[in-house]
Amino acid sequence: MLLSPGWHTLSMSFETVSEEVIRQERARAREIRQSAWWRNQIGKGQCYYCHERVHPNDLTMDHKTPIARGGRSTRHNIVPCCKVCNTDKKYLTLSEWIAQREDEGRSLACAAHLLN
Ligand SMILES: [Zn+2]
């Protein structure tokens, strides 16, 4: 697949997050996955990003700002996400991904209300 021209610049910030922080935040994400709050999130049956109706079993947990990019496992940063969006977003932050999708003419449903 083609990477956006900004990819090399983006990848440099991968170095700034230590292995230990990544381990810690992944452990916290696992705890959140067991919580009533998370069950409630996926129970809504909708992808946060594209707004598609998705069966709760097919919703994955996504960090709006990935852990590897300095994001934390908090309720503000964690959203239910369909597999299509998860695969497409990869290690982009939400604002980078929105910008990339706008460039490609594939606007995200969530962009409209996030940018307002
Ligand atoms: Zn989606």
72: domain CATH number is 1.10.30.50
**Burial degree of 63 (CB within 10 A; 0-12, 13-18, 19+):** buried
Neighbours of ion ligand 1 (CB under 5 A): 47, 49-50, 82, 85
Q: How far is ligand 1, taken at its centre, from the CA of residue 16, in Å?
A: 28
Specify if 10 maps to a domain: no
- What pTM did the predictor assign? 0.83
Specify if 85 maps to a domain: yes
Does residue 10 have a pLDDT over 80? no
63-77 confidence digits (pLDDT tens): 999 999 999 999 999
23-47 confidence digits (pLDDT tens): 999 999 999 999 999 999 999 999 9
Q: How far is ligand 1, taken at its centre, from the CA of residue 92, in Å?
A: 15
The domain containing residue 51 runs over which residues? 15-115
Q: How far is ligand 1, taken at its centre, from the CA of residue 38, in Å?
A: 17
Q: How far is ligand 1, taken at its centre, from the CA of residue 45, in Å?
A: 11
